[in-house]
């Protein structure tokens, strides 16, 4: 009998999605080991949830090899996110070859202890969500956190998508404070995508991530930035693998990317950061 | 190619894109009107242009929307939203493609 997760994948690749999925698969260059740079494991205050096993089944069904995973806006986060961070770590320990664990923090509260605990534990990066935790990217405690991350050589993935207004200007300040910061711009800076590409397109330690960004936004992105600066993401459970792979591939093909460039977007570009 | 200008095709697809966006936003916002905005998008997608222009795109969008509506009605958000996203992407990328055509 099919598991719940297998059924979830089945409904995303059958019916009217069957032809879409077939086209999407046909556009993935041979030998590409897809790396999803944005996925969540845990529970959200809005009721959405994803388990480690659910994530693994979805990856297997869609042919995704590795995923960066981090907590949702968890109702059990309290001040330091330690509980949801533990859930992500457990998922990683059960599937170390498939998951790359990032931890999450709330800059409104003292974060030094949890930051240190997670770095010592071996988390590979940090996720920050300015909308859910209600802060600006250039608030003093956030700038300090960027500095700490840069010192620890820890990549930071920021939500820079839906409901974000200010992205570029506060990030300029972040780079003034922490020039070595390795930054994954989640959702490709959405409303400020062109300006962000202009500001950070040549910064080697910045990469734009594509999850749940419309194909026409991605078409523009691929035309204003080198494809090497872009990596694929799904934002599971808000996005899904088939429809986000479709938008990334359809936009990439429309923008005339080569197979090698597309392969980079799907795995090589983020793979170079995280080994 | 039928005799329908790229401008008219684009104009029609822009209408559809707008209704798709409305439906997507109301679905995310769990608006009580979401099923109605989905119905609006479906009605617009159901229209045909003279000479059957853009039927390749419109046909796919129709199928996706019909299924999205069923999933949404059944409370199955993820498969509904996946179909809405793909429909909107097909529509907007086709508009971009048409921007390069003269007819
Ligand atoms: Zn996310």
Domains and CATH numbers, chain A: 30-274 (3.20.20.140)
Positions of chain A with pLDDT lower than 70, given as ranges: 1-7
pLDDT for the residue A1: 44
Residue B11 lies in a domain: yes
Residue B62 lies in a domain: yes
Instruction: Give the SS3 label for residue A199.
Output: helix
Chain A nearest C-alpha distance from B3 (Å): 24
Tell me which chain A residue has its CA closest to the CA of residue B64.
A16
Tell whether A61 lies on the interface with B, counting CB pairs under 8 A: no
Residue B89 lies in a domain: yes
Return the CATH number at B40: 1.20.120
What proportion of chain B, given as a percentage, has pLDDT over 70? Answer: 96
The beta-carbon neighbor of B89 closest among A19, A240, A247 is A247
pLDDT tens-digit series, residues A14-26: 999 999 999 999 9
The beta-carbon neighbor of B92 closest among A11, A212, A214 is A214
pLDDT for the residue A9: 83
pLDDT for the residue A132: 94
Chain A nearest C-alpha distance from B17 (Å): 11
Query: Which DSSP helix (H) or strand (E) runs through A125?
Result: strand A125-128
Tell me which chain A residue has its CA closest to the CA of residue B60.
A16
**At A264, phi and psi to the nearest 5?**
-60, -45
Whole-structure pTM value = 0.96
A contacts of B93 (beta carbons < 8 Å)? 215-216, 219, 250-251, 254
Residue B69 lies in a domain: yes
For B17, the domain range is: 6-101
d(CA A178, CA A150): 6
pLDDT tens-digit series, residues B68-93: 999 999 999 999 999 999 999 999 99
For residues A40 and A237, the answer to whether their CB atoms sit within 8 Å is yes
d(CA A33, CA A181): 27
Spatial CA neighbour of A158 closest among A180, A140, A138: A138
Strand-pairing partners, residue A42, are A50
pLDDT tens-digit series, residues A112-131: 999 999 999 999 999 999 99
pLDDT tens-digit series, residues B6-41: 999 999 999 999 999 999 999 999 899 999 999 999
Mean pLDDT over the full length of chain B: 95
Question: Is residue A177 packed enough to be buried (19+ CB in 10 Å), middle (13-18) or exposed (0-12)?
Answer: middle
The beta-carbon neighbor of B93 closest among A16, A216, A244 is A216
Residue B87 lies in a domain: yes
Q: How many domains does chain B have?
A: 1
Name every residue whose Cβ is closer than 8 Å to that of residue A204 and which is 6 or more positions away in sequence.
none
Look up residue A36 and give its two tokens: 């999803």
Residue B1 lies in a domain: no
Mean pLDDT over the full length of chain A: 96
Give distance in angstroms: CA of A30 to centre of ligand 1: 28
């Amino acid at each position: 009998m099919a598991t719940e997760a297998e059924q979830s994948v089945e409904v995303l690749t059958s019916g009217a999605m069957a032809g879409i999925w077939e086209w999407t698969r046909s556009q993935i260059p041979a030998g590409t080991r897809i790396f999803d740079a944005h996925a969540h494991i845990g529970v959200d205050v809005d009721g959405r949830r994803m388990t480690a096993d659910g994530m693994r089944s979805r990856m297997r069904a869609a042919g995704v090899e590795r995923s960066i995973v981090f907590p949702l806006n968890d109702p059990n986060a309290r001040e330091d996110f330690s509980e949801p961070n533990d859930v992500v770590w457990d998922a990683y320990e059960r599937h170390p070859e498939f998951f790359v664990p990032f931890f999450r923090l709330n800059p409104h509260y003292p974060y030094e202890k949890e930051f240190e605990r997670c770095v010592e534990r071996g988390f590979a990066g940090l996720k920050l969500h300015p909308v859910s935790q209600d802060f600006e990217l250039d608030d003093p405690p956030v700038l300090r956190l960027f500095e700490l991350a840069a010192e620890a050589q820890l990549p930071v993935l920021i939500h820079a998508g839906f409901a974000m207004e200010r992205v570029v200007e506060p990030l300029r300040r972040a780079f003034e404070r922490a020039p070595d910061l390795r930054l994954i711009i989640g959702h490709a800076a959405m409303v400020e995508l062109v300006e962000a590409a202009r500001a950070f397109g040549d910064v080697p330690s910045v990469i734009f991530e594509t999850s749940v960004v419309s194909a026409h936004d991605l078409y523009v992105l691929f035309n204003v930035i080198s494809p090497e600066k872009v990596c694929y993401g799904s934002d599971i459970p808000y996005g899904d693998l088939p429809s986000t792979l479709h938008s990334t591939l359809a936009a990439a093909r429309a923008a005339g990317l080569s197979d090698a460039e597309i392969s980079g977007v799907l795995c090589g570009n983020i793979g170079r950061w995280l080994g | 190619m039928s005799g329908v200008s790229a401008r008219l095709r684009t104009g029609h697809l822009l209408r559809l894109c707008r209704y798709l966006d409305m439906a997507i936003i109301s679905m995310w916002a769990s608006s009580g009107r979401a099923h109605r905005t989905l119905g609006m998008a479906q009605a617009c997608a159901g229209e045909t242009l003279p000479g059957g222009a853009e039927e390749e795109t419109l046909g796919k969008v129709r199928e996706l929307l019909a299924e999205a509506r069923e999933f949404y009605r059944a409370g199955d958000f993820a498969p509904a939203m996946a179909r809405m996203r793909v429909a909107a992407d097909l529509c907007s990328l086709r508009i971009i493609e048409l921007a390069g055509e003269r007819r």
